Chains A and B, each alone.
Chain A
Amino acid sequence: MCGIVGLFLKDKSLEPELGKMLTSMLITMTDRGPDSAGIAIYGDESKGSSKMTVQSDAPDLEFSGLDSALADALGGAVSMQVISTHAVLSIPAGSFEKARQTLSEVRPNVRIMSRGDTLEIYKEVGLPKDVAARFDVSSMSGTHGIGHTRMATESAVTTMGAHPFNTGDDQCLVHNGSLSNHNSLRRKLRREGIHIETENDTEVGAAYLTWKMREGATLGEALESALDDLDGFFTFLVGTKDGFGVVRDPIACKPAVMAETDRYVAFGSEYRALVDLPGIETARVWEPEPATVYFWSHNTLPTNTEKAA
């Protein structure tokens, strides 16, 4: 069992409240996943640079001088904001691969949580309320965000086993369920040259989407083919720079509730997670259909009906 929450804002005036709203939703889902929690937040973008969020178990030691070490290697300005065990690095646009290479040489124990223009991922082991407080998620603003509370079934309770998983530039995945063919799929994806760090089933799901998109599929197409190639139970919530998408396996026993008003689209594993949202009493509330891909994007006009990607 796990808990998922997500919020896609249509009303710009809610953007400063995003972190606060997501934190409240996340804490409500503690019963579904008390062992670790994580949040993906889509915030500000600055021209000419992109973000890389990294994590260390020894942040004082490992983050010290990391910005200047990267700046030297990348030959451009690098700034760093340390938040607890995480640091958000602003690096020159297009320099991610070199930054990853440099990081593995100068700080081999530092793990990359996310990369992208607007995406930041924060995740740690612990109760959702403690994880949210550690990163001060409630002070964060943004256009949309995804949160996850984990009750581990398929692999160890570690930071790297927590969700969300970064699947590519500005893309992330959270999962409620368990994949049963992740071992064979992991071998196949590693042969294809996809980097998979842990024995976690969801990371394989994320890597699968990365691989499909590397082969030319759109996110919507990758999710459609996931329905054929992933065996097991899943409710997935995927984030992109422009919005988020939902897909459930054909059996759909992992719960999902959505609510939409003219101000936001919200996702919760249970209705309980949505009860404090403004105007929830009059929101359109429904369950996403099994084996159907839904997507909401800031790049198109908001509509009252969901649409397949």
Chain B
Amino acid sequence: MQTVDLQEMGLRGVNAALHAQADDTNQTAWTIENAKGAHAIACGLDAPIEVTVKGSTGYYCGGMNQQATIKIDGSAGPGTGENMMSGKIVIEGDASQYLGATAHGGMIVVKGNASSRCGISMKGVNIVVQGNIGHMSAFMGQSGNLVVCGDAGDALGDSCYEARFFVRGSVKSLGADCEKKEMRSEHLTLLQGLLDEAGIDADPKDFTRYGSARNLYNFDVDNAAAY
């Protein structure tokens, strides 16, 4: 176990030490102390290591992550896991706005609530939120799954493509071209797998699926006057 103090070592020092880990590193477990809401903690990692951040984080923690598992023992600031490619981020507290924006792969788990624009333009990431999510979540979501055990705010899935949304609670409103969909057996299996991976005990049958109505894919000539 490697323990580093962010205030003593500085952000660049900590991130450089994490970046220096190769695929076959023996230093697989790291703890970062004194996070104090700093920005860009554990950004751009590319090794199969486990990093635990003690305390809450600021902007962009775990951004561009590949392979690494990052656990935040606190709440996470805006843009956490932005453009993540693979690996896992687990947030014990709440997550601020645009969690997992444009992320291509891996999984993000939030034990508390996630704020607005959760999963905006998601491109393959799986996001599982135990609490609620804010407005405009999964705006322009292209691929991947957003699972919400609580409620979703206004305009869920506005202008979405092929991302899937599973919500157990209420949805305040659906965004443009997002609709309620049938929950078939393959979706129940998929959702059970996501919940298991996230370590959350919930029954897939309690969730409703939402996704693209696919009406915005092609230009409708009746809308010509709108431009």
Residues on A lying within 8 angstroms of B by beta carbon are 251-253, 255, 257, 270-275, 285-287, 290
Contact = CB atoms under 8 A, between A and B. Distances in A.
B96 A255 contact: yes
A79 to B, nearest CB: 42
Contacts, number: 42
A215 to B, nearest CB: 31
B49 to A, nearest CB: 25
Nearest to A272: B37
Contact of A271 (B58, B115, B116, B117): B58
A270 B58 CA distance: 7
B63 interface: no
B97 A255 contact: yes
Interface residues of B, number: 20
B212 interface: no
B113 to A, nearest CB: 9
Contacts of A286: 94
Given A287-B94, A287-B96, A290-B116, 20 more contacts: A251-B136, A253-B116, A255-B78, A255-B96, A270-B37, A270-B58, A270-B77, A271-B37, A271-B56, A271-B75, A272-B36, A272-B37, A272-B38, A274-B37, A275-B36, A285-B56, A285-B94, A286-B94, A290-B134, A290-B135
Contacts of B59: 270
A79 B120 CA distance: 57
12 contacts: A252-B134, A252-B135, A270-B59, A270-B77, A271-B58, A271-B75, A274-B37, A275-B37, A285-B56, A285-B93, A290-B134, A290-B135
A192 B59 CA distance: 43
Contacts of B75: 271, 285
Contacts of B94: 285-287
